C-alpha cells in the first residue's frame, strides 16, 4: 500500500496543538466567517478570486481516425512571411517544426473586417486564432481600451487550446484583413502528427528483439525520448573510430554505411531500416551485414561507448533519423544488461505467473483489486444538504433512510454533458472509480440514471476541501510539515492510479477532500483516463496544466507528476508558481507554464524545493516519476525521508488537523455557495452512450 519506506515522521505537524501555528487549527470557511461579520467583503473577494483561478477547462477530443479533412488556402510569399513571423513569436507554436508551421500557414483562411466590426466579443466562446495582415484593431475589456493589434500581430491564441470565454473585445479601427485558424483544425492536425510519429517509433522499437519483453507503456516512453535529426547529403552521421552512445532509426532518406578497410562493400539503408555500431557492419574489411526485421541493433551503443566500426553518410537529398542515446535509454528502462537478464528470467519463468493479478509493480504500489458497488436503491436516499457544484451539476449530502449512513450524491446534467461533448469522460469517471480501491481515493458506492441526469453515490468526507485549509481569510498556504502530510496522501493516490495506468489529469486543492480523521482523498475522476501511450484531449485547470497539455503534443501520466509539483508549491507558498496574480489572465498563465521559469519565496523548505524542481521539468520523459522506478522515485526523495508509508496507509499517523464532526449530518466545513441547477426541459438523448453507466 503506498510508497515503500519504513521510517516514521520525526515531528508531527499537529502533535503540539500550538495556537501559534496557523496550520494546526481548522480555518473557518470564508462564507461562514462573513455571516459572523468576522471578515471584510474585500477578503471574500480575494478568496473567491483564488477559487476562480482553479476552474476547469477542457476542449473537444481531436479526431484521430484519419478522416479529418480541411482546406488549404493559397497565399502570396509576402503574406506567408507575415504569418510565419507571427507564429514563430507566439508561444502556442513555439515547439513546432518548420514543416508543421508551414502546414498551419496553408490552413489559415482570409477574413476581411470593415471599420468598426467586432472580431471577438468579450465573454463569447472562442474558436479562432487570428494573424493581422493589414489594418489595425483595438482590444478592450469592460469597455476600457487595453491594447492594439497591427500588421504582423496575432491574437486569440487561447481559443486554440480550449473553449474559454473571450477575455476581451477586439474591433477593427479601419478596414482590415486577418488570417484565421480554428481550434479543431489546430488540435486535430497537431494530435495526428504527434500520434503518427509516436506510432512509427514504437513500431520500429518493437522490431528490436531485446526490447520485445518491454511493456508497451515503456516503449512509448522511449519513443518520447527519441530525437528527430535532419542531415544534408554528405553529412557523416557516424564516424568510424569515434566513441558512440547513440543508435538510429531512419525516418526518411537514404544513408551509405561503409567500412574503410580494403575489400569492403558499401551498403545503403533507407526509411524503416535501422543501424548502430555493430548492427550493420563487421570489422577488418569484411562485407557489411544487413540485419533483418526483428533483429535488434545498436546493442553496443546502449551497453558502452565502444568505438564505431564503420562510417554512415547521408546520400539522399535529405535524411531524417530518430536517434536515442544511452543516457535516455538507461533513465527510462535501466541498463540494457539488466533488460537482457530480465528477458532471460522471463523466458525461464514464463509459466510462473499463472494465477497472478494484473498490475504488480516493482518498487511501488500494487495495483490491487477494484471496488465492488453496493445495492442501495436511489429511492432509499433522502436529501439533507447542498455540498457544492461540479462541472455538470450539484453535489448533495444524502442519508440512507434504513441505515442512517450519510453519503454524497453527485448529479450530472446529461444535456450539459452532451453539449460539451464529454460523454466519454463521464463514462470514464464511473469506470475509473470502480477500478480504484485506495484509502486515499474517494469511494464509489452506487450509480443511477434517469432521462435528465446521471448520478454517482459517493463516500462523504466531512472535513471539506483541501482548498479551504490552504486558503483562509488570514493566510494562504500551510506549514511545511502539514503540507508534507497532505502530500503523502496525494502521492499515494497517484501511485495507486499509476499502477493501473490511469492519468488523473485534474489535481488541484479543490479535488482533495479531508475525511473525519484529517486525511485527504482525491475526488472527481471526470478527466481520468487509462493511458498507455499518449492522449490528446486538453482538460484540467489552467495553473495546473503541464506544458505538453498546453502545447497539444500529446500527454501521458507524467502530467500528474507535474501537477503534484504545482500542488506542493501552492500548499506551502499559498499560490501556484505560474499564476498571474495580478490579472488572472489565462494566456499569461499558459505562457508562464511553457517558459517554465521557476522561483521560490524565501524560507521554502530545501528538500521540498528540490522535489518540485524535479517534478516541474518541461520534458515529460525527464520528469521525476517517468523514469525507471516510476512513482516510487518520487516517494524516495529526501522530502519524504521520515515518512512511514505503512502507517499512513493504515491511518496510524495523527493528522495535523482533524475536523470537528460531532454530528454525521454536519456540513459546516463546506462553503455554502450555491448555483442554480441546470435543467433543459427540451433535452432528449437519442444515443445510448450511457448504457453501461
Per-residue pLDDT tens over the stretch 623-676: 999 988 899 999 999 999 999 999 999 999 999 999 988 788 988 888 766 556
> Is-contact 450 413, C-beta < 8 A?
no
- For residue 521, give the 3-state DSSP assignment: strand
Write down the pLDDT at residue 677: 65
Asked, for residue 375, whether it belongs to a domain, the answer is no
Q: State pLDDT tens for residues 412-450.
A: 999 999 888 888 889 989 999 999 999 999 999 999 999
| Residues 92 and 138 placed together within one structural domain of the fold | yes
Write down the pLDDT at residue 668: 84
Q: What is the spatial order of strands in the sheet that 137-141 belongs to?
A: 118-120, 169-172, 137-141, 144-149
Q: What are the residue numbers of the active site?
A: 506
Asked, for residue 291, whether it belongs to a domain, the answer is yes
Residues making up the annotated binding site for ATP are: 387-395, 410
- CA 280 vs. chain centroid, Å, equals 39
Residues making up the annotated binding site are: 387-395, 410
| Residues 124 and 233 placed together within one structural domain of the fold | no
Report how far residue 595's alpha carbon sits from residue 582's, in angstroms, rounded to the nearest whole number.
18
Domain at 95, CATH number: 2.60.120.10
Asked, for residue 424, whether it belongs to a domain, the answer is no
Report how far residue 272's alpha carbon sits from residue 18's, in angstroms, rounded to the nearest whole number.
67
C-alpha cell at 505: 489529469
| Residues 488 and 552 placed together within one structural domain of the fold | yes
CB atoms within 10 A of CB 567: 26
| Residues 565 and 513 placed together within one structural domain of the fold | yes
Give, for 388, the enclosing helix (H) or strand (E): strand 381-389
Residue numbers of the domain that contains 179 = 77-189
Asked, for residue 443, whether it belongs to a domain, the answer is no
pTM over 0.85: no
Taking alpha carbons only, the member of 564, 597, 644 closest to residue 6 is: 644
CA distances from 350 to 212, 343, 345, 418 (A): 14, 10, 8, 46
Total domains, the chain: 3
Asked, for residue 470, whether it belongs to a domain, the answer is no
- Between strands 154-155 and 128-134, the pairing is antiparallel
C-alpha cell at 308: 564505431
| Residues 531 and 625 placed together within one structural domain of the fold | yes
| Residues 166 and 260 placed together within one structural domain of the fold | no
Give the DSSP letter string of 646-685. HHHHTT-SPPS------STT--TTS-----PPP--TT---
Q: State pLDDT tens for residues 37-94.
A: 444 444 444 444 455 546 777 777 787 777 788 899 999 999 999 999 999 999 999 8
CA distances from 643 to 5, 8, 194, 307, 625 (A): 7, 5, 40, 46, 18
Which one of 618, 634, 649 terminates a domain? 649
Regions of the chain where pLDDT drops below 50: 1, 5-49, 53, 260-264, 277-287, 289-297, 350-366
Asked, for residue 329, whether it belongs to a domain, the answer is yes
Report how far residue 365's alpha carbon sits from residue 632's, in angstroms, rounded to the nearest whole number.
8
Which one of 154, 189, 224 terminates a domain? 189
- For residue 491, give the 3-state DSSP assignment: helix
Taking alpha carbons only, the member of 526, 280, 500, 268 closest to residue 392 is: 526
| Residues 164 and 250 placed together within one structural domain of the fold | no
Asked, for residue 631, whether it belongs to a domain, the answer is yes
Report how far residue 278's alpha carbon sits from residue 260's, in angstroms, rounded to the nearest whole number.
15
| Residues 178 and 230 placed together within one structural domain of the fold | no
Which one of 189, 222, 256 terminates a domain? 189
Asked, for residue 16, whether it belongs to a domain, the answer is no
C-alpha cell at 469: 485549509
Give the DSSP letter string of 23-43. GGSPPPPHHHHHHTT-S-HHH
Write down the pLDDT at residue 20: 35
Question: Positive or negative CA dihedral for 338, 343, 345, 350?
Answer: positive
| Residues 158 and 237 placed together within one structural domain of the fold | no
Q: What is the largest CA-CA distance in the chain?
A: 94
Amino acid at each position: 500500500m503506498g510508497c515503500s519506506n519504513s521510517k516514521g515522521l520525526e515531528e508531527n505537524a499537529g502533535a503540539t496543538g500550538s495556537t501559534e501555528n496557523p496550520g494546526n487549527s481548522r480555518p473557518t470557511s470564508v462564507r461562514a466567517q462573513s455571516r459572523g461579520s468576522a471578515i471584510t467583503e474585500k477578503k471574500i473577494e480575494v478568496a473567491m478570486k483564488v477559487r476562480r483561478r482553479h476552474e476547469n477547462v477542457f476542449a473537444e477530443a481531436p479526431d484521430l481516425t484519419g478522416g479529418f479533412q480541411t482546406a488549404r488556402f493559397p497565399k502570396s510569399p509576402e503574406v506567408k512571411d507575415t504569418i510565419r513571423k507571427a507564429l514563430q513569436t507566439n508561444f502556442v507554436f513555439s515547439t513546432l517544426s518548420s514543416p508543421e508551421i508551414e502546414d498551419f500557414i496553408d490552413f489559415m483562411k482570409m477574413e476581411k473586417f470593415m471599420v468598426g466590426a467586432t472580431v471577438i466579443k468579450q465573454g463569447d466562446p472562442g474558436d479562432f486564432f487570428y494573424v493581422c495582415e493589414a489594418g489595425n484593431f483595438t482590444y478592450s475589456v469592460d469597455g476600457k481600451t487595453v491594447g492594439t493589434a497591427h500588421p504582423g500581430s496575432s491574437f486569440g491564441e487561447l481559443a486554440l487550446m480550449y473553449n474559454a470565454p473571450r477575455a476581451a473585445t477586439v474591433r477593427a479601427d479601419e478596414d482590415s484583413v486577418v488570417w484565421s485558424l480554428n481550434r479543431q483544425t489546430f488540435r486535430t492536425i497537431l494530435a495526428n502528427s504527434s500520434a503518427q510519429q509516436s506510432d512509427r517509433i514504437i513500431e520500429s522499437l518493437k522490431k528490436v528483439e531485446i526490447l520485445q519483453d518491454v511493456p508497451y507503456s515503456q516503449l512509448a516512453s522511449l519513443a518520447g525520448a527519441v530525437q528527430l535529426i535532419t542531415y544534408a547529403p554528405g553529412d557523416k552521421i557516424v564516424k568510424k573510430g569515434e566513441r558512440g552512445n547513440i543508435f538510429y532509426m531512419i525516418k526518411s532518406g537514404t544513408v551509405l554505411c561503409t567500412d574503410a578497410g580494403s575489400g569492403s562493400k558499401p551498403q545503403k539503408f533507407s526509411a524503416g531500416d535501422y543501424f548502430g555500431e555493430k548492427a550493420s557492419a563487421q570489422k577488418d574489411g569484411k562485407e557489411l551485414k544487413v540485419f533483418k526485421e526483428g533483429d535488434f541493433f545498436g546493442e553496443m551503443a546502449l551497453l558502452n561507448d565502444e568505438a564505431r566500426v564503420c562510417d554512415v553518410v547521408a546520400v539522399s537529398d535529405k535524411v531524417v533519423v530518430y536517434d536515442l542515446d544511452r543516457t535516455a535509454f538507461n533513465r527510462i528502462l535501466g541498463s540494457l544488461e539488466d533488460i537482457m537478464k530480465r528477458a532471460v528470467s522471463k523466458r525461464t519463468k514464463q509459466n510462473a505467473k499463472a494465477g497472478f493479478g494484473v498490475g504488480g509493480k516493482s518498487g511501488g504500489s500494487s495495483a490491487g483489486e477494484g471496488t465492488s458497488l453496493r445495492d442501495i436503491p436511489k429511492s432509499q436516499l433522502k436529501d439533507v444538504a447542498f455540498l457544492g457544484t461540479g462541472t455538470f451539476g450539484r453535489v448533495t449530502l444524502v442519508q440512507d433512510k434504513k441505515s442512517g449512513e450519510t453519503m454524497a450524491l453527485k448529479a450530472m446534467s446529461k444535456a450539459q454533458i452532451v453539449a460539451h461533448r464529454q460523454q466519454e469522460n463521464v463514462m470514464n469517471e464511473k469506470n475509473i472509480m470502480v477500478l480504484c480501491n485506495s484509502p486515499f481515493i474517494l469511494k464509489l458506492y452506487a450509480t443511477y440514471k434517469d432521462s435528465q441526469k446521471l448520478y454517482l453515490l459517493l463516500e462523504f468526507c466531512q472535513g471539506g476541501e483541501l482548498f479551504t485549509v490552504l486558503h483562509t481569510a488570514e493566510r494562504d498556504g500551510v506549514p511545511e510539515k502539514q503540507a508534507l502530510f497532505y502530500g503523502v496522501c496525494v502521492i499515494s493516490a497517484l501511485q495507486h492510479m499509476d499502477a493501473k495506468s490511469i492519468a488523473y489529469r485534474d489535481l488541484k486543492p479543490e479535488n482533495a477532500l479531508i475525511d473525519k480523521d484529517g486525511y485527504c482523498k482525491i475526488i472527481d475522476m471526470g478527466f481520468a483516463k487509462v493511458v498507455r501511450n499518449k492522449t490528446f484531449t486538453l482538460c484540467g485547470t489552467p495553473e495546473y496544466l503541464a506544458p505538453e497539455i498546453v502545447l497539444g503534443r500529446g500527454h501521458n501520466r507524467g502530467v500528474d507528476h507535474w501537477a503534484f509539483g504545482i500542488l506542493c508549491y501552492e500548499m506551502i507558498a499559498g499560490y501556484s508558481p505560474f499564476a498571474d496574480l495580478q490579472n488572472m489572465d489565462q494566456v499569461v498563465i499558459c505562457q508562464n507554464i511553457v517558459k517554465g521559469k521557476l522561483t521560490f519565496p524565501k524560507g521554502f523548505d530545501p528538500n521540498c524545493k528540490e522535489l518540485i524542481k524535479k517534478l516541474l521539468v518541461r520534458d515529460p520523459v525527464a520528469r521525476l516519476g517517468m523514469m525507471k522506478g516510476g512513482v516510487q522515485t518520487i516517494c524516495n526523495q529526501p522530502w519524504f525521508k521520515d515518512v512511514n508509508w505503512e502507517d499512513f496507509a493504515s491511518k496510524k499517523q495523527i493528522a495535523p488537523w482533524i475536523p470537528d464532526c460531532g454530528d454525521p449530518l454536519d456540513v459546516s466545513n463546506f462553503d455554502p455557495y450555491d448555483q442554480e441547477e441546470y435543467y433543459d426541459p427540451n433535452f432528449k438523448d437519442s444515443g445510448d452512450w450511457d448504457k453501461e453507466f
